[in-house]
Amino acid sequence: MRLLSGSARLAGVTGWPVAHSRSPRLHGVWLNRHDIDGAYLPLPISPADLAHVIPALAKAGFAGLNVTIPHKISVMALCDRIDPRAARIGAVNTLVFTSTGIEGFNTDSYGFLANLRAHGVNPAAGPALILGAGGAARAIAAALQDEGAPVTVCNRTQRNAAALAAALPPGNVLPWEYRSAALGDYALLVNTTSLGMVHHEPLDISLEAANPALAVADIIYAPLETELLKAARARGLTAVEGLGMLLHQAVPGFKAWFGITPVVDDELYHIVSGG
């Protein structure tokens, strides 16, 4: 049994709600693996309380926090410093509390790229088509652009796709109705929508016109293998599941809070997935 001392390092994840988060289990594996004197806690904080509680946690000795829905944008106003990539994305998902203030980062982009590479996919292999125009799409688009890949956004509501492309120039826009027919022009397809998630509508897309070298990534991890990924594997395409992005995005925060760079491996996948 791992027991805490009075010098234990504390971190956690905040959202509203936060009970669904797999991050406590994820960080708990690493804390146990490295026998660290520390803890990682789920912290449900309402939007009305956020501006008061976050600075209080920093003053109470917490090392930092992960931030999830609906706080990723509003928490930026509480940061003393924001990493340039997080500022470009317009959202923060990782806070590091230091002696000089609160620092904000976005590790979604890091997690996405690390997960691609773990599956043998080169982010700069060619043009990418991103389905969706929300916060995750924005982080992934910025990451791929930074790697040198041209990005096209395709969303059910085209004005949202246009807004994302304008915010991250030189992004392109593809009308939703052409999402299947255009796949021969891309090296990477990324689903960032909720379509295909448990209790959501299915994602209606055909891979028949896909480039034979197309890699298909889905950031959904419930289910672990979506219908999109099943279809990709059936056609012999590289399929990149979403749980890996969650695991890899946690690495920079853990290192900042607990001083050790953890490893994403099969054991971690098994435990966090509930297997």
Nearest alpha carbon to residue 140 among 177, 179, 193: 193
132: left (phi over 0), alpha (psi -120 to 50) or beta: left
Is residue 220 a contact partner of residue 194, using CB atoms and an 8 Å limit? yes
Q: How many residues does the chain have?
A: 275
Is 255 designated active site?
Answer: no
Question: What is d(CA 53, CA 41) in angstroms, rounded to the nearest whole number?
Answer: 14
The tokens of 229 are what? 């990924």
Distance CA 75, CA 91 (A): 8
Pairing of strands 151-154, 128-131: parallel
What are the residues whose beta carbons fall under 8 Å from the beta carbon of 16, sequence distance 6 or more? 44, 45, 46, 47, 69, 70, 71
Exposed e or buried b per residue across 191-211, where buried means at least 16 C-beta atoms within 10 angstroms of its C-beta: bbbebbbeeeeebebebeebb
Of 59, 72, 230, 255, which is the active-site residue?
Answer: 72
CA 23 to chain centre: 12
Show which residues are catalytic: 72
